[in-house]
Every structure is written in C-alpha cells, then in structure tokens.
C-alpha cells in the first residue's frame, strides 16, 4: 500500500523506521518487529499499525520514499551536466542506504515475490522519476518514457550489483554505474528508432 502522506505522518514514519533500522541486527520488515522496537523505546506498540496500516509493504514503501527524499537533498549537482547529475543522485541514494544494506536486501527479497510485483514496479518508477526530476530533466514528449524506462534498467542493475559490493565507498558499484550510464548517449538514437516504428508515439503526452 502506497498512500498520500502529510508531512507530519511522513516524519512519524521516518522516526519509527529510524528506530527499526538502528537495531544492532535488523529484525525484519513486519509490524510485530516494529512494535517490539517501539515498545523498547517507550512507545505504544499500536503505533506500528497506525503508522503503517498496509503492513510490511507500507514500511518498505516509506523506507524507499525516505531514501528518495534524502537522495535529492544530499547529491552534489553543482556544475554537472544532466548525466552527471543523474550519476550523483544515484550515488547519493546508495550512500544513504549503505548503513542499511541488510534491510535493503530483505526489502528487495520481499518485493521480488510475484504478488508484490505491482508495488515493486511503483516504487522503482517513483525512484526513477525522483532522479530525473531532481536532475532537472524537462522532457515533455516521448523521451519522457524512454528516459525513465532506460534509467529503470540502469538503476535496477546497479542496485543489484551494489548488494554484493564490498568495496570502500561503493567504488566498484559506481564504476559499474558509469559503464551503464555511458549507454545514455544512445537514448536519442533509440527514441528515433521507436518513433520510426511507432509513428503514434510522437503524440504521446508526458504523464502529469
């Protein structure tokens, strides 16, 4: 379940997740696990269900949204071109999640279940859109779709690589990302091919 949040609710969810993620050993994505953590910190167990009525998936969605927000505030975008800004944003998101890699791995494991595929797709789309938005992309034609589809593949592959990367400061992952981003220069060519094959694509508006 992914819902619209007030600032106060988003802050309360972030605070609860911070307590969960600060546990010496991550206890898992579940309301009982969160309730137990809240109890140890002197808070009502019922807060877990109140904050996350959608259960574990709502917790994971809030965790992903938190990473998206932090990514946008921590990335150094000054003086970079569009691809450089995209790279900086992805690097910032990985840095935000680095202390919580176990939680990320377990979240992805849950999202990989077939019944959770719609939520996984929505979260990936939200992250990709957040990256392009923060990077300042102003596309309003068919490239809106091609850019997001391309970046979804790049980010997804990079995230999976990052899960097994033990290098300092994600160095190996960032090198992997650089190789993937090099393919963005072919985006215009891909768009031209698609429009040649699908003339109606020129008329597709960018979603609002």
Q: pLDDT digit string (tens) for 69-110? A: 999 999 999 999 989 999 999 999 999 999 999 999 999 999
Structure tokens at 157: 């592959």
In this structure, are residues 67 and 94 in contact, taking their beta carbons and an 8 Å threshold? no
Task: Give the long-range contacts of residues 162-168, CB within 8 A, separation 24 or more.
Answer: 162/94, 162/101, 163/101, 163/104, 163/105, 163/108
Q: How many CB atoms lie within 10 A of CB 41?
A: 10
pLDDT at 183 over 80: no
pLDDT at 142 over 70: no
pLDDT at 2 over 70: no
CATH superfamily of 7-203: Tetracycline Repressor, domain 2 (1.10.357.10)
Computed over every residue of the chain, the mean pLDDT equals: 88
33 or 194, higher pLDDT: 33
pLDDT at 60 over 90: yes
Q: Give me the pLDDT at residue 201, please.
A: 43
Q: How many CB atoms lie within 10 A of CB 93?
A: 25
Residue 175: closest CA among 82, 91, 101? 91
Strand, helix or coil at 25? Answer: coil
Structure tokens at 35: 């309730």
Domain ranges (residues) in the chain: 7-203
pTM: 0.85
Q: Is 7 exposed, middle or buried, given 0-12, 13-18 or 19+ CB atoms closer than 10 A?
A: exposed
Residue 26: closest CA among 109, 114, 83, 91? 109
């Amino acid at each position: 379940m992914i819902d619209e949040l007030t600032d106060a609710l988003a802050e309360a969810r972030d605070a609860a997740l911070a307590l969960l993620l600060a546990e010496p050993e991550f206890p898992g994505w579940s309301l009982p696990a969160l309730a137990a953590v809240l109890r140890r910190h002197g808070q009502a167990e019922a807060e877990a269900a109140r904050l996350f009525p959608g259960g574990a998936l709502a917790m994971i969605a809030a965790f992903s949204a938190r990473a998206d927000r932090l990514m946008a505030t921590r990335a150094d975008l000054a003086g970079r071109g569009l691809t450089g800004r995209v790279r900086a944003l992805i690097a910032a998101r990985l840095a935000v999640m680095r202390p919580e890699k176990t939680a990320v791995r377990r979240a992805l494991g849950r999202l990989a279940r077939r019944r959770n595929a719609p939520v996984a797709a929505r979260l990936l789309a939200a992250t990709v859109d957040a990256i392009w938005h923060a990077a300042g992309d102003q596309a309003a034609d068919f490239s809106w779709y091609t850019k997001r589809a391309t970046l979804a593949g790049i980010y997804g592959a990079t995230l999976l690589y990052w899960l097994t990367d033990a290098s300092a400061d994600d160095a190996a992952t960032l090198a992997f990302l650089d190789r993937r981003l090099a393919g963005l220069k072919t985006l215009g060519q891909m768009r031209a091919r698609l429009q040649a094959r699908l003339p109606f694509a020129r008329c597709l508006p960018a979603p609002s």
